[in-house]
Amino acid sequence: MEVIEGYPDYMLKSIKLVEEKRKKNLSQPVKPMSMKEREEILSKYHPDYMKGTKRELKVGIDKGMLLYNGIVDLLEARPVLDPKDVDLSKIDYDVDLLIIGGGGAGTVAALFAYESGIPKDKILIVTKLRHGDANSMMAQGGIQAADRPEDNPALHYLDIYGGGHFTNKPELARALALDAPGIINWHEELGVLYDRHEDGEFQELSGGGTCRNRMHSCKDYSGMEIMRNIRDQARNLEIPVLEFCPVAELLMDDKGQVAGGVAFNLETFEYYVIRAKATILATGGSGRLHLANYPTTNHYGATGDGLIMAYHVGANLLDLDTIQIHPTGDAYPEPLVGILSTEKIRGLGAIPLNKYGDPFVFPLEPRDVESASLIKECKEGKGIITPTGMPGVWLDTPMIEMIHGEGTIETKLAGEVRKFKRFGIDMAKQPILVYPTLHYQNGGIEINEKTETRIPGLFAAGEVSGGVHGKNRLMGNSLLDFNVFGRRSGIYAAKYVKKAKIGKLTLSHLDKYNKMLEKANIKAEKSAPIILPEYRGEMAISRALDIF
Amino acid sequence: MNKKEQVLLEKPKMKKSKNNEKKVETIEVFIMGKSYKVPAGLTIMKALEYAGYRYIRGCGCRAGFCGACSTIYRKEDEQKLGFDLACQKVVEDKMYLVQLPFVPATKAEYDINKIEPTDSTILEFYPEIARCVSCNTCTKSCPQDIEVMKYIQRAIRGDISKCAEISFDCIQCGLCAMRCPADIKHYHVSQLARRLRGKYLDIKSKNLAERLKEIKNRKYDTEIEKMMKMGRNEIMDIYKNRKIEAEEESKEGD
C-alpha cells in the first residue's frame, strides 16, 4: 500500500516559490497591525465575530448571555445524573479536599494544599483518564515570566490585559504577572529542566503579543517537562489519585455549599460518593466540543465537564463567547490535521507565507489576530488546498536555520521534527502547512484572586476558570495560569477547609435544574456533561444495539 | 505570475468512480485478531474508532505527548514486532495490533530535597540498572527513537547530566520497561536523572533571583495598581505605544 511520502507535486511547485523568495522575505518583514487594523480583520474573519456560531442561553444565572452554540447545547441539556440513582447515605470517600482533574492545575493544587497542612490521606484527586492526561502535558512553546532586567511584571500585566482586549479581570491579570517569577523558581526547586544559556540565565523568546522576550521553554516539550515534574512530586508524596473516575456532578449540602462530587468509574460503571469540605474544579478546557466545527489540539478528555457541573450548582460564567483558535494547527498530512505546531516556531523566526511564497502578516500578532489573517488569506484563494480539501498556508521553517544556524530546529523543536519526519517531511529543509485550530477556552467559571467561585466550597483553577485571560489568551500564559492559580487554589482551599462544616448531602440542585429547563420550554434530549467525545465511525454507530 | 502558473499550484481534481462517489481505498487490519476493513491513511487510533471502538484507556492527548496509546503490532508474514503510538502511526494493510492499556512498573519514592546527586544516586534507587545486558531492545521499542540503552549506560556510570539530556524527549509510555529482560524501569530511572540535573546541576538564573527580591519588596505594585485603575482609553494608549522587543530585533536584521 502507498504511504504518504512528503508533499505532492502541486505543493512542491508552491514550495519552490517559497524557496526563491526566502531571502527577500527575511529581509523585508511585514509590520505589526495598528489597533484599528486588528479590529477590522477580527470582525471579518474570526469565528468569534461570525453569525451563527453563538446564541443566548435560556436558563440559569447567566440567562441571556451569548455563548458558543456547543456550550449552550450542553448547558441546556439535562444533568447526566438522576438523583434517584444515587444513595447519599453511604459515603465512599470522606476527605477535606476533593480535586476534580488530574492535569496541571489539579496536581499543583494538591501539592500546595499538602504544603498548607492538609494531610495527604485527606486529599483526593479524581480524574477522567490517567493522572497527567491533560492539555498541560501538550503545551509546547513555553511559559511566560518577566525576570530579565529589560522586562518587568508591569509590562507583563500590560501584555496580558491588552492581549485580552482589556476584558480580563484586572486582579487576576495582576496575580498572573506578579506570581510568575515565583513559579519559575518553584520549578527550579522541583528540578524542571529549562533551556538556559551557559551562564545559567534562561533562553527567552518572544511570543505573539508580548512586548519583551519572556518565554521560558524546555525544548518544545515545555508542558510535558513541567507536568512530569509536578506529577513525580505528587507521586513521591503519595497523594491519592483515582484514575478513570470522572466526577459526573457536584454534591451540595443543605446550607447551599458545594460538598464534594459523585464520581463515575468508567470501567465498572459504579458511582462513588465523595464528601469533601472543599472542592477544586480543575477539569480543563473544552476543545473536544469542536466549537464552530474546528479541529482541535486538545486531549481526548477536554469536553468542558467542569463548566456544566459548576453551572448546575449555580456558579457563573465569563467570556465563553470567545474561543481561542491557534493560528498554526497542522493542515497536512491528513493524520496530523488539527494537531498543534508550536508558536515557538514563529518565535524562532519562521514567517507565514501564501501559496505564491509571499508574506502577509507580522508573524507574532496576538493569536486571534494572527488566526484571522490566515483565514483571510485562505478565503481570498491564496492558500494551498490539500488533497482532502483542507486549506492552509506555509510556515517557512527553514528560515529558522538561516537566522540561528544549522541544527537549531533539531535541538529546539525536537518534537515537531519527529512528528513531520514520520510523513517524509524534513521541516529544516521544507516549510510546513498550517491552518487555525481550536486550542483554548479563553473564558470559564468566574473566580477571584483566591480562586473562589460564587458558591461556597467551590474553587476553580486553570483552563476551566474565567477572567484571567479575558477574551483572548497569549502564548505562554496557560502553563503559567495553571501553576499560579493551581497554587492559589490549593492554599486558599486549605485555609477554607479549617473552618468549613458540611451539612446534609443533597443532589436536589439537579432536580431544580431539570425544573428550570422545563419552565424555559427546553426539550432536553441530550444529557451533560458528556465525559468523552464520540468518534466512532458512522456505520458502526448506526448499527449499534443497546442490549448488553 | 500568469494564469497558467497559478493553475499549477492547485490540487488536481479528485478521480471519481462510476457512481460519482469519491473512491476510498480500504485496507484490512486485525484488532486483537478480529478483521476490519478501514480506510487507508488513518492513524491506528482513528482506524479503531472507525471500526466502532470507543476508547476509555489507550487514548490520551492524541498528539504524541502523553504515552497513553502505546501499540504493539506485527504485519502478516513478518518476523519483526513493531512498537509505536496509535495516535501517530498510520495503519498498514494486514497489520495485527493490540494496545497496551497499562504498564505495571513501580517508581522509586524519594524526597528530591533530601538526596544528593552523586555518581551512585541513581543506582541506589534503581539498583536493577546494573543488570543491563546491553541487548538494546529498549531502544528498538522506543516510539520516540530515544537511545534508551545509552542513557541507562550513562546512569550506571553516574553521568546524571547526560542521562537527563539523552532521555529528555521521553513520553513515559513504558514500552521499554515492558520489553526489558533485566526488568529495568527505564522511564522512571530517567525521570530521577532529569530532576536531579534540573535541581542540582544546572546553574541557576541570577536575573530571576534579583526579580524575586524586587517582587518581595513590592517594587512593581504601585505601577500595576495604577494601570488597574486607568480608564480604557488611557491604558489602550499605553498598550499601543509600548516598545516591542521582537520588532526592534527584526529592524536590526538579526
Mean pLDDT for chain A? 96
Give contacts of A190 with chain B, Cβ < 8 Å.
112, 195, 198-199
A174–B112 CB contact, under 8 Å: no
Q: CB contact, 8 Å: A452 with chain B?
A: no
Q: CA of A213 to nearest chain B CA: how many angstroms apart?
A: 7
> Strand, helix or coil at A401?
helix
Query: Among residues A326, A473, A487, A488, which one is catalytic?
Result: A326
Chain B nearest-CA residue for A26 = B253
B52–A544 CB contact, under 8 Å: yes
B211–A238 CB contact, under 8 Å: no
| Angstrom distance (rounded) from CA B218 to CA B252 | 35
Nearest to B244 among A35, A161, A211 (CB): A211
Q: CB contact, 8 Å: A532 with chain B?
A: yes
Predicted pLDDT of residue A376: 97
Give contacts of B9 with chain A, Cβ < 8 Å.
10, 13-14, 355-356, 384
Q: Specify whether the CB–CB gap between A285 and A267 falls below 8 A.
A: no
Pair A19, A114 in one domain = no
Q: What is the mean pLDDT of residues B226-239?
A: 97
Nearest to B198 among A138, A193, A236 (CB): A193
Q: CB contact, 8 Å: A178 with chain B?
A: yes
Which pLDDT tens digits describe chain A residue by residue (548 residues)? 234 578 999 999 999 999 999 999 999 989 999 989 999 999 999 999 988 999 999 999 999 999 999 999 999 999 999 999 999 999 999 999 999 999 999 999 999 999 999 999 999 999 999 999 999 999 998 999 999 999 999 999 999 999 999 999 999 999 999 999 999 999 999 999 999 999 999 999 999 899 999 999 999 999 999 999 999 999 999 999 999 999 999 999 999 999 999 999 999 999 999 999 999 999 999 999 999 999 999 999 999 999 999 999 999 999 999 999 999 999 999 889 999 999 999 999 999 999 999 999 999 998 999 999 999 999 999 999 998 899 999 999 999 999 999 999 999 999 999 999 989 999 999 999 999 999 999 999 999 999 999 999 999 999 999 999 999 999 999 999 999 999 999 999 999 999 999 999 999 999 999 999 999 999 988 999 999 999 999 999 999 998 88
Mean pLDDT for chain B? 92
Q: Which of A289, A301, A324 is nearest to A439 (CA)?
A: A324
Q: What is the CATH number of the domain that holds A106?
A: 3.50.50.60
Last residue of a domain, one of A438, A462, A480: A438
Buried b (16+ CB within 10 A) or exposed e, B213-235: eebeeeebeeebeebeebeeeeb
pLDDT greater than 80 at residue B251 = no
Domain count, chain A: 2
Q: CA of B62 to nearest chain A CA: how many angstroms apart?
A: 6
| Angstrom distance (rounded) from CA B105 to CA B3 | 62
Give contacts of A192 with chain B, Cβ < 8 Å.
198
Give contacts of A224 with chain B, Cβ < 8 Å.
65, 171
A130–B27 CB contact, under 8 Å: no
Q: Could you list the residue range(s) of the whole structural domain that residue B33 is in?
A: 24-99
Predicted pLDDT of residue B121: 98
Give contacts of A229 with chain B, Cβ < 8 Å.
195, 198
Q: Specify whether the CB–CB gap between B41 and A334 falls below 8 A.
A: yes
| Angstrom distance (rounded) from CA A215 to CA A222 | 10
Predicted pLDDT of residue A51: 87
Read off the pLDDT band of B252 (50, 70, 90). Answer: very low
> Strand, helix or coil at A96?
strand
Q: CB contact, 8 Å: A214 with chain B?
A: no
pLDDT greater than 70 at residue B30 = yes
Nearest to B9 among A13, A29, A133 (CB): A13
Chain B nearest-CA residue for A220 = B169
Secondary structure in 3-state letters for B162-207: HHHHHHCCCCCCCHHHHHCCCCCCHHHHHHHHHHHHHHHHCCCCHH
Predicted pLDDT of residue B11: 73
Predicted pLDDT of residue A3: 41
Q: What is the CATH number of the domain that holds B90?
A: 3.10.20.30
Concatenating the DSSP letter of every residue in A222-254 gives HHHHHHHHHHHHHHHTT--EETT--EEEEEEET
Predicted pLDDT of residue B253: 41
Q: What is the ipTM of this complex?
A: 0.94
To test the contact with chain A by mutation, choose from B205, B218, B234, B235 the residue with the greatest count of A C-beta atoms within 10 A, namely B205
Give contacts of B250 with chain A, Cβ < 8 Å.
29
Secondary structure in 3-state letters for A17-47: HHHHCHHHHHHCCCCCCCHHHHHHHHHHHCH
User: Hey, how many other C-beta atoms are within 10 angstroms of the C-beta on B12?
Assistant: 9
Pair A296, A154 in one domain = yes
Pair A314, A377 in one domain = no
Q: Report if residue A40 sits inside a domain.
A: no
Pair A180, A218 in one domain = yes
pTM of the model: 0.95
Pair A316, A350 in one domain = no
Q: Could you list the residue range(s) of the whole structural domain that residue A496 is in?
A: 83-322+441-506
Q: Which of A528, A524, A506 is nearest to A516 (CA)?
A: A524
Last residue of a domain, one of A475, A490, A506: A506
Q: How many CA atoms lie within 13 A of A218 on its CB side?
A: 29
Q: Specify whether the CB–CB gap between A400 and A348 falls below 8 A.
A: yes
User: Which residue is listed with cell 553521568?
Assistant: B159
Q: Specify whether the CB–CB gap between A193 and A121 falls below 8 A.
A: no
Q: Report if residue A47 sits inside a domain.
A: no
Return phi, psi of residue A432, to 5°.
Answer: -110, 155
Q: Report if residue B168 sits inside a domain.
A: yes
Query: Among residues A228, A299, A346, A487, which one is catalytic?
Result: A346
B40–A2 CB contact, under 8 Å: yes
Q: Report if residue A189 sits inside a domain.
A: yes
For the question of residue A326 being annotated catalytic, the response is yes
Q: Which residues contact A21 (CB under 8 A, 6 or more apart)?
A: A353, A357, A358
Chain A nearest-CA residue for B15 = A387
Q: What is the mean pLDDT of residues B79-84?
A: 95
> Strand, helix or coil at A395?
strand
Q: Which of B169, B206, B167, B163 is nearest to A412 (CA)?
A: B169
Interface of A with B in 124-163 (CB under 8 A): 129-130, 132-133, 135, 137-138, 145-150, 152-155, 157-158, 161-162
Torsion from C-alpha of B63, B64, B69, B75, nearest 10 degrees: 110
Q: CA of B172 to nearest chain A CA: how many angstroms apart?
A: 9
User: Hey, how many other C-beta atoms are within 10 angstroms of the C-beta on A201?
Assistant: 16
Q: Which residues contact B139 (CB under 8 A, 6 or more apart)?
A: B146, B147, B148, B149, B150, B176
Pair A314, A228 in one domain = yes
Pair A278, A377 in one domain = no
Predicted pLDDT of residue A546: 85
Q: CB contact, 8 Å: A402 with chain B?
A: no
Pair A17, A144 in one domain = no
Q: Cite the beta strand spans of chain B per DSSP E.
A: 26-31, 34-39, 70-75, 82-85, 95-99
User: Hey, how many other C-beta atoms are within 10 angstroms of the C-beta on B241?
Assistant: 7
Last residue of a domain, one of B201, B220, B243: B201
Q: Which of A212, A181, A489, A170 is nearest to B217 (CA)?
A: A181
- Please report, rounded to a whole number, the percentage of residues in chain A having pLDDT higher than 70: 99
Q: Which of B63, B239, B67 is nearest to A302 (CA)?
A: B63
A182–B212 CB contact, under 8 Å: yes
For the purposes of burial, counting CB atoms within 10 Å of the CB of B24, is it exposed (0-12), middle (13-18) or buried (19 or more)?
exposed
For the question of residue A290 being annotated catalytic, the response is no
Q: What is the CATH number of the domain that holds B191?
A: 1.10.1060.10
Last residue of a domain, one of A438, A473, A488: A438
